[in-house]
Copies of this chain bind each other. A is one copy, B any other.
């Protein structure tokens, strides 16, 4: 068809336009902290993100090393030379920087000077709590950290200069419970959260309790009865509730690399039907690209169905005898629970399709 052909001159010009446009569009980003698991996942995903130019990897102890020498899986794919951990310098040369540092480091290193130069997405717990953030001043001004859970807070994220990426357990807990709280279905102080995590959730710093033979073939409960993500969960859910949401939260370590399965229990305010609960979830998530509801399946979410992906799968069951609801949420703790969600936040800030670079199909094994 005539209108769908181009002359050679037209084609040459077109390709030139497209190439220039693409280069101009690439966002320059840096990752501070590339040696932990979340940092490595960030780098893996960013290196293949079509809108991003990963310019720098700042590390504590690998200044001058080739990233793929430290992590041989990246050979030929991410051969960047690591720099030291100079946040100011990273901010200077980039549009956006990710902080994938141990808890406490970001609060110590971040300044308003950095935030004036570059957008910042922080994967630590340092800026997640409102009260905590208020105490962190730079030049007399508090940081305006947006809580980086896109499904609840997309608008704030889009305009924030600092995003506090949620905790992994908190992501699964809030996504599975918020629709019930919003719809006024559950008794606020009846929430019990039983979280189970793969061992990568415990970080990468060598420690006896996460050595192979210490945590293979065993299960353990830890931080009872209040995991450190508890305040983050309660703060976020309470914003949608009539009363303060109070939770009991037991975390468990399970012998596998990746994945969080989170089972929550709550008392219903009144007797409700499966349909009413389904409607509450659909109201929240029917247009969400990364939340999948299991109300039409005969089974419950499993971590393998989300492995390597940015999905959060949510199922529920009603216990008529006790008038309770049981919810089950599954995420990949390193993707939707960390690096993937951080990139989702970046996509929102950049104003591009929110799924760009993080639409991988789960790898199931």
Contact = CB atoms under 8 A, between A and B. Distances in A.
Interface residues of A, number: 97
Interface in A293-338: 294, 297, 299-309, 313, 315, 317-319, 321-322, 324, 326, 328, 330
12 contacts: A4-B17, A47-B361, A48-B361, A75-B292, A78-B361, A200-B213, A212-B257, A214-B365, A217-B304, A219-B261, A221-B328, A248-B326
B365 A319 contact: no
Interface stretch (A93-101, A109-117, A188-196): A188-196
Given A5-B17, A77-B361, A265-B248, A210 B208 contact: no
Given A17-B6, A300-B224, A365-B37, A213 B199 contact: yes
Contacts of A37: 213, 365
Contact of A255 (B204, B256, B324, B330): B256
Of listed A222, A257, A303, A360, residue having the most chain B CB within 10 A: A257
B199 A196 contact: no
A217 B213 CA distance: 11
A73 B4 contact: no
Interface in A333-365: 359-365
